[in-house]
């Protein structure tokens, strides 16, 4: 058991006086907000005993608990896992817990968004403290009521008891009295060994609604009097809207209006997630989706080149100058620029020892270059948003990953204070970073404001795939120097991208090699990029882990043993002090995957690849087995070992891991967007190849390292390693290394 002080976070707890119906509400703000407020709930009998978490945990007189979850739910299962943490420390029966999605409320909550696999990690202590504090207040209320020491009050499954007197009460029966108890200054948290809910599998709280087709997603939004809207953006990056001709569309059936909108106020200082390629678009509003789509096809637009611009962007408190060049960009031109800049010295990000001398005196140098193209997110639910803007308020409903940042941009654009903007968050039909950049929410609000009516803005698949946001295109060159004894003496990585660098200079194998150099570079572009599942790591893992395999082969070492040797060096005699990984935990997942995969056991016609990577505070290692059938690779099995600390909900963690592996294999084999005169070469799934059900691994085994470390990232860490594991297995199958993604794009290997 651990005792923690609540004084640091007492302002993040909210306790009301006795509520109507005798219920208790304990609210807590998401992280460290200092604000408080009051709230009331309906009597438990009329509200069916719903309780609330998010900022609020409420207990009604029948003992039911509702947790109001603040973070958007995008399939990562936080809407189930976060309440599990509170329920554990509260010591209640999970079957009495009900979960609801909270609206955006920046006055109550902080970090009310998803991204970076940080939701559980950053709220772990706060959620536990909230549940434990409520439990302590109930115990104190029972002790006062029965005239016994609080230390003698025990709890279990939402009930209080005093063994010596035989007295007992449910939480609901004691809730009214507990509401009068001051929030404790410190509370005792459960020992990990005593967990009953955390670490056990609980089904998704939205599962029934999902499988029965109940409205959960933004695209399900329906309001009386609602109109449908779509937009037309310029056809190429590097162009902006000049004029349009709607003469053939304005009188078409069901069409209400056609007009231009400017999504961003030019004087507004953009924030980190205010990425927007086409601020000027044409809006079409009508009665139905079909009618609006037909009118959209009849509108002709004229565009003109954008000028080169330089602006300052506030990236989470850090000001950064962003240059957007003019011109229509082409993938061949990109490749030529990359070749030119990669041949020059890069920006040195880390240097250990004397790598230059080590390379000059090396007996052998191994050098390899890896590339990856732009990628589209391709969420299954196209971008959409509902908006109803009046002179008094703005009501918005839809799927967002970073609603609090979108709200700030919207307030600036509408000239409306934040307190008059009501954001209702829906479940995301896919995000992966794409829904962090919600310019379509601004477009929806501006269209509603112009129409003075509720509208739902819809993007077609073509709209989404051709207007960004994309994963950047990357290249990385790795070099290794070997001495006369075939031992590694120096390591050099130089990497960059369009328009950002993926380099993590202090990542493995930094810290394991005496002479180490990390450099990077960037190339400006007007093609809009942004976060993509496991940003930057999704490429660096594939390049690094492919190179380490090739290096191990050149040194005559087993790939896993080679990695473990490097990690042992980083553990026992590390180079430098800024290494961003724990070599013991890193080695732990490699050892576990070696054991569980049966590494080293020969299998006829089965080709194996291994990969391991640290990202988003967690460690993942994978062994991928494939066979060739008619010259095509078939993934038979992926064995995955993960160290993400305490696993809150094993079922959900396994599901996320399986999804990440399938997604990563599909992207590695097929994913690609290229550009010709600023126009992306793919606009729908007829050309943008996604993995198909029959191509998913036949078996995926997921194993977790058991420890008592507080939870770390889970949604993204299983994704990056599979790229390298697949590349290494493909090499084993044909004896040919693959350096360019997508791997099946290299037709000379797999036709």
User: What would the pLDDT profile of 448-504 be if each residue is shown by its tens digit?
Assistant: 999 999 999 999 999 999 988 999 999 999 999 999 999 999 999 999 999 999 999
Please give the Cα distance from 454 to 446 (Å, whole number): 11
pLDDT digits (tens, 9 = 90+) for 675-716: 999 999 999 999 999 999 999 999 999 999 999 999 998 889
* 742: pLDDT strictly greater than 80: yes
Task: Name the residue with higher pLDDT: 150 or 75.
Answer: 150
Number of residues assigned to the chain: 751
Read off the tokens for 380.
């299954």
* 724: pLDDT strictly greater than 80: yes
Confidence of residue 6 (pLDDT cuts 50, 70, 90): low
What integer pLDDT is reported at residue 46 of this predicted model? Answer: 42
Task: Give the number of other CB atoms < 10 A from CB of residue 186.
Answer: 13
What integer pLDDT is reported at residue 575 of this predicted model? Answer: 97
* 17: pLDDT strictly greater than 50: no
Which residue bears the tokens 């693959």? 738
In this prediction, residues 526-550 reach a mean pLDDT of 95
Radius of gyration (C-alpha) of the chain in whole angstroms: 28
Map residue 740 onto helix, strand or coil. strand
Task: Give the number of other CB atoms < 10 A from CB of residue 643.
Answer: 25
* 119: pLDDT strictly greater than 80: no
Read off the tokens for 217.
């997603």
* 11: pLDDT strictly greater than 50: no
* 112: pLDDT strictly greater than 70: no
* 16: pLDDT strictly greater than 50: no
* 304: pLDDT strictly greater than 70: yes
In this prediction, residues 236-256 reach a mean pLDDT of 97
Q: Which of 438, 426, 442, 444 is nearest to 464 (CA)?
A: 438
What integer pLDDT is reported at residue 109 of this predicted model? Answer: 62
Read off the tokens for 204.
């998704």
Write the CA distances from 64 to 24, 98, 134, integer angstroms.
11, 8, 14
- Helix, strand, coil % over all residues of the chain, rounded to 5: 30, 30, 40
Phi, psi of 141 (to 5 degrees): -65, -40
What integer pLDDT is reported at residue 45 of this predicted model? Answer: 45
Please give the Cα distance from 376 to 640 (Å, whole number): 26
Class of 345-375+470-745 in CATH: alpha beta
Q: Quick one: how many helices (H) and strands (E) in the chain? A: 16, 34
Share of the chain above pLDDT 90, in %: 65
* 37: pLDDT strictly greater than 80: no
Question: In CATH terms, are 218-309+383-458 and 345-375+470-745 the same topology?
Answer: yes
Please give the Cα distance from 727 to 743 (Å, whole number): 8
Confidence of residue 42 (pLDDT cuts 50, 70, 90): very low
In this prediction, residues 87-114 reach a mean pLDDT of 80
Write the CA distances from 299 to 16, 257, 308, 691, integer angstroms.
57, 12, 28, 35
* 608: pLDDT strictly greater than 70: yes
* 41: pLDDT strictly greater than 60: no
In this prediction, residues 511-533 reach a mean pLDDT of 96
Phi, psi of 4 (to 5 degrees): -125, 145
Query: What fold characterizes domain 2-203?
Result: Aldehyde Oxidoreductase; domain 4 (3.30.365)
Please give the Cα distance from 617 to 504 (Å, whole number): 13
pLDDT digits (tens, 9 = 90+) for 434-450: 888 888 999 999 999 99
Domain boundaries, the chain: 2-203, 218-309+383-458, 345-375+470-745
What integer pLDDT is reported at residue 4 of this predicted model? Answer: 65
Confidence of residue 187 (pLDDT cuts 50, 70, 90): confident
What integer pLDDT is reported at residue 50 of this predicted model? Answer: 34
In this prediction, residues 57-71 reach a mean pLDDT of 75
Strand partners, 160: 155, 169
Taking every pair of Cα atoms in the chain, the longest distance, rounded to a whole number of angstroms, is 86
pLDDT digits (tens, 9 = 90+) for 616-633: 999 999 999 999 999 899
Instruction: Name every residue whose Cβ is closer than 8 Å to that of residue 675 and which is 6 or more positions away in sequence.
Output: 237, 329, 330, 331, 334, 374, 527, 681
Q: Which CATH architecture has domain 218-309+383-458?
A: 2-Layer Sandwich (3.30)
Q: Indicate the burial class of 391 (C-beta count within 10 angstroms; 0-12, 13-18, 19 or more).
A: exposed
Cβ-defined contacts of 167-173 (< 8 Å, 24+): 167/142, 169/142, 169/145, 170/62, 170/63, 171/59, 171/63, 171/92, 171/138, 172/23, 172/44, 172/49, 172/59, 172/60, 172/61, 172/62, 172/63, 172/64, 173/61, 173/63
Confidence of residue 581 (pLDDT cuts 50, 70, 90): very high
* 517: pLDDT strictly greater than 60: yes
* 104: pLDDT strictly greater than 80: no
What integer pLDDT is reported at residue 692 of this predicted model? Answer: 93
Average pLDDT, the chain: 88
> Would you give the DSSP letter of residue 62?
T
> DSSP strand E in 334-435: where?
347-352, 364-372, 375-376, 384-389, 394-398, 421-425
In this prediction, residues 290-298 reach a mean pLDDT of 97
Q: Which helix (H) or strand (E) covers residue 661, if one does?
A: helix 650-670
What integer pLDDT is reported at residue 715 of this predicted model? Answer: 87
Confidence of residue 110 (pLDDT cuts 50, 70, 90): low
Read off the tokens for 456.
């739902």
Strands 679-680, 375-376: parallel, antiparallel or unpaired by DSSP? unpaired
Confidence of residue 312 (pLDDT cuts 50, 70, 90): confident
């Amino acid at each position: 058991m651990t005792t923690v002080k609540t004084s640091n976070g007492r302002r993040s707890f909210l306790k009301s006086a006795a509520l109507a119906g005798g219920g208790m509400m304990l609210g807590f703000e998401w992280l460290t907000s200092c604000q408080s407020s009051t709230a009331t709930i309906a009597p438990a009998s009329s509200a069916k005993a719903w309780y609330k978490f998010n900022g609020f945990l409420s207990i009604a007189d029948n003992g039911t608990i509702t947790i109001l979850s603040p973070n958007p739910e995008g399939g990562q299962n936080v809407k189930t896992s976060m309440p599990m943490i509170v329920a554990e420390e509260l010591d209640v029966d999970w079957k009495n817990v009900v979960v609801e999605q909270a609206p955006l409320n920046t006055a109550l909550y902080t970090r009310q968004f998803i991204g970076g696999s940080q939701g559980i990690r950053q709220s772990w202590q706060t959620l536990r403290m909230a549940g434990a504090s409520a439990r302590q207040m109930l115990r104190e209320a029972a002790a006062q009521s029965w005239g016994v020491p609080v230390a003698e009050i025990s709890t279990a499954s939402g009930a209080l008891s005093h063994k010596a007197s035989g007295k007992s009460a449910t939480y609901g029966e004691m809730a009214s009295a507990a509401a009068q108890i001051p929030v404790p200054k410190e509370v005792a948290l459960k020992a990990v060994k005593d967990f009953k809910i955390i670490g056990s599998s609980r089904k998704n709280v939205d599962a029934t609604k999902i499988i029965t087709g109940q409205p959960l997603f933004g695209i399900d939004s329906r309001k009386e009097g609602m109109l449908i809207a779509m937009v037309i953006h310029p056809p190429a990056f590097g162009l902006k809207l000049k004029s349009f001709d709607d003469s053939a569309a304005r009188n078409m059936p069901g069409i209400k209006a056609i007009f231009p909108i400017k999504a961003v106020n030019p004087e507004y200082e953009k924030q980190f997630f205010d990425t927007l390629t086409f601020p000027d678009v044409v809006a079409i509003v009508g009665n139905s989706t079909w009618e609006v789509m037909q009118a959209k096809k009849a509108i002709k637009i004229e565009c003109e080149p954008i000028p080169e611009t330089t602006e300052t962007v506030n990236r989470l408190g850090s000001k950064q100058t962003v240059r957007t060049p003019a011109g229509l960009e082409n993938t061949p031109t990109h490749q030529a620029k990359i070749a030119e800049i990669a041949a020059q010295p890069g920006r040195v990000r880390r240097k250990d020892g004397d790598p230059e001398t080590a390379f000059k005196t090396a007996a052998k140098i191994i050098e390899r270059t890896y590339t990856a193209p732009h990628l589209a997110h391709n969420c299954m639910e196209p971008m959409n948003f509902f908006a109803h803007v009046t002179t008094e308020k703005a009501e918005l409903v839809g799927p967002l990953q970073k609603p609090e940042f979108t709200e700030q941009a919207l307030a600036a654009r509408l000239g409306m204070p934040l307190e008059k903007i009501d954001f209702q968050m829906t479940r995301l039909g896919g995000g992966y970073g794409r829904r962090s950049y919600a310019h379509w929410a601004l477009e929806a609000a501006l269209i509603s404001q112009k129409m003075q009516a509720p509208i739902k803005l819809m993007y077609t698949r073509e709209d989404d795939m051709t207007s960004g946001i994309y994963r950047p295109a990357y290249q990385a060159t790795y070099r290794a120097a070997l001495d006369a004894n075939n031992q590694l003496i120096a390591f050099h990585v130089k990497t960059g991208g369009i328009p950002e660098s993926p380099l993590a200079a202090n990542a493995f194998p930094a810290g394991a090699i005496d002479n180490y150099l990390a450099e990077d570079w960037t190339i400006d572009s007007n093609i809009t990029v942004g976060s993509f599942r496991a940003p930057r790591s999704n490429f660096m893992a594939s390049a690094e882990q492919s190179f380490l395999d090739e290096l191990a082969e050149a040194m005559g070492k087993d790939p896993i043993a080679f990695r473990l040797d490097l990690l042992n060096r980083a553990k026992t005699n590390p180079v430098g002090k800024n290494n961003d990984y724990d070599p013991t935990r890193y080695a732990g997942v490699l050892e576990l995957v070696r054991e569980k995969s049966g590494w080293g056991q020969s299998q006829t016609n089965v080709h194996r690849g291994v990969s391991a990577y640290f990202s988003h505070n967690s460690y993942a290692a994978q062994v991928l087995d494939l066979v060739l059938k008619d010259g095509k690779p078939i993934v038979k099995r992926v064995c995955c070992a993960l160290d993400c600390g305490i696993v809150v909900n094993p079922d959900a963690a396994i599901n996320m891991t399986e999804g990440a592996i399938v997604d990563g294999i599909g992207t590695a084999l097929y994913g690609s967007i290229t550009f010709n005169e600023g126009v992306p070469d793919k606009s729908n799934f007829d050309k943008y190849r996604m993995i198909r059900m029959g191509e998913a691994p036949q078996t995926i085994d997921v194993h977790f390292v058991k420890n008592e470390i507080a939870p770390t990232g889970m949604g993204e860490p299983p994704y990056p390693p599979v790229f390298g594991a697949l590349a290494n297995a493909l090499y084993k199958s044909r004896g040919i290394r693959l350096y360019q993604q997508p791997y099946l794009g290299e037709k000379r290997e797999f036709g």
